[in-house]
Amino acid sequence: MRDRKDNRTGRNTPTKGSNKASSGRGSDKKPNSSKIAKKPGPKPGTLEAQKKASGLFSPKSLNPNAKTTGRPNVRYGDKEGTSRAERSQPYSDPPRQPSHKPSTRGSRYRNKSSSAVYLFGLHTVRAAFENPRRKIVKLLTNEAAWERLNIGDTDQMPFPVELTEARDLDRLLGKDAIHQGVVAEVLPLPVKSLDQLKDTHLVVILDEVTDPHNVGAIMRSAVALGAGAIITTARNSPQESGVLAKSASGALEMIDYIQVKNLGHALEELHFIGFQSIGLDSEGPAALEETFEKNQIALVLGAEGKGLRHKTREIVSDLARLDMPGEIKSLNVSNAATLSLYAAHRFMQAKLAI
């Protein structure tokens, strides 16, 4: 039957017997939801879903129809390029080129625009000023530190002196540097060759000891016990820097710091000069005190943990150990160097007295 129009509401109402029941599904039909429905998201498990869940991609980069999606911001996975063809190609980092540059530990205390080095601390700067071989480019200091240096008037210095504040030095070196209010910009010291060590009786050779604090401490002990030079490898050893000079507490200005490309060749050259090279090893066949023979001694120490390299062990004249009376048989490399230097110094004194 046809629906009858309700004059009060203006709507058609079903008449008796109509097939459109009031409780049927047809009366509850919702309006077309295509206009208000949300855009379906990416299918689970697809690359787009993973990218969206990661939170690493911008909405623009997730748009597959965009002309440009920017540079890749993930290390691995599909590459984001300028086209779909580029994005479909797997992304990988460019091959890493091997570096042949020497170790630059402590490089933040170097002037990146030149070869100059920043030395800081009262003892370090005063020792640099008193070293005639050291070229000072500029001195930065506050008034209190300048008075404590006590090296003369600012107008009489052969280099410019700039009065500054401690916070400016913190910005230059970083807050971790204990500069004590004074920083000197200097040029690296001239390097000696091995054949200039003919008149030297005691040297220390470091086989890839990388920590500048340890090398600085060894320098300090070497100067105190009469050694003439510290010899290290050009690679895997600290360069001349502020942290090395600070750890040495002025000893960098008092001893030759020689870096060689090939430690084996350097040992052979020292042997030709007349040195006896003794490698320190915890399993050495004899005690160090029983190994000394010649008037010129080169003490060879390896890095902590791995010790002397195999080739170095083969080239040295002798291997020796430090006999420890206590329960601990191994020492920090700087402590082992100090004891070895003291034993060599006592041997030299006894031999010269005869």
- Does residue 210 sit in the same domain as residue 348? yes
Report the CATH number at residue 139.
3.30.1330.30
Q: How many domains does the chain have?
A: 2
More confident site: 194 or 102: 194
Average pLDDT, the chain: 78
Residue 151: the pLDDT is: 83
- Does residue 231 sit in the same domain as residue 333? yes
For the chain, give percent helix, strand, coil, nearest 5. Answer: 30, 15, 50
Which residues have CB under 8 Å from 301's CB, separation 6+? Answer: 204, 205, 206, 207, 209, 218, 279, 280, 308, 333, 336, 337, 340
pTM: predicted TM-score of the whole model, two decimal places? 0.66
- In a domain, residue 73? The reply is no
Provide the residue count of the chain. Answer: 354
Average pLDDT over residues 317-339: 91
- In a domain, residue 4? The reply is no
- Does residue 169 sit in the same domain as residue 243? no
- Does residue 309 sit in the same domain as residue 200? yes
Place of tokens 């992304």: 91
> Is the per-residue pLDDT at 306 higher than 70?
yes
Residue 179: the pLDDT is: 84
Q: How far apart are CA 204 and CA 219, in angstroms?
A: 9
Q: How far apart are CA 246 and CA 215, in angstroms?
A: 11
Of 186, 217, 239, which closes a domain? 186
Give which of 284, 226, 277 is closest to 251, Cα–Cα: 226
- Does residue 135 sit in the same domain as residue 217? no
- Does residue 156 sit in the same domain as residue 283? no
Q: What percentage of the chain has pLDDT greater than the value 70?
A: 68
Range of the domain at 166: 107-186
Q: How many CB atoms sit inside 10 A of residue 213's CB?
A: 16
> Is the per-residue pLDDT at 237 higher than 70?
yes
Q: How far apart are CA 299 and CA 54, in angstroms?
A: 56
Q: Could you tell me the CA-to-CA distances from 257 to 14, 177, 241, 291, 335 in Å, in that order?
A: 107, 23, 12, 26, 19
* Eight-state DSSP code of residue 18: -
- In a domain, residue 3? The reply is no
Exposure string (b/e) for 44-57, b if CB count within 10 Å is 16 or more?
eeeeeeebeeeeeb
Of 186, 219, 252, which closes a domain? 186
- In a domain, residue 79? The reply is no
Q: Could you tell me the CA-to-CA distances from 162 to 57, 80, 115, 338 in Å, in that order?
A: 49, 51, 20, 39
* Confidence class for position 304, pLDDT limits 50, 70, 90: confident
* Confidence class for position 79, pLDDT limits 50, 70, 90: very low
Average pLDDT over residues 121-125: 90
- Does residue 139 sit in the same domain as residue 265? no
Question: Please, are residues 275 and 294 in contact by the beta-carbon 8 Å criterion?
Answer: yes
> In 3-state terms, what secondary structure has residue 168?
helix
- Does residue 237 sit in the same domain as residue 320? yes
Of 186, 213, 232, which closes a domain? 186
User: In what order do the strands lie in the sheet containing 297-302?
Assistant: 256-260, 229-233, 202-207, 297-302, 276-280, 318-321, 286-287
Average pLDDT over residues 281-287: 89
> In 3-state terms, what secondary structure has residue 345?
helix
- In a domain, residue 75? The reply is no
- Does residue 204 sit in the same domain as residue 339? yes
- Does residue 200 sit in the same domain as residue 175? no
* Three-state SS annotation for 117-132: EEEECHHHHHHHHHCC
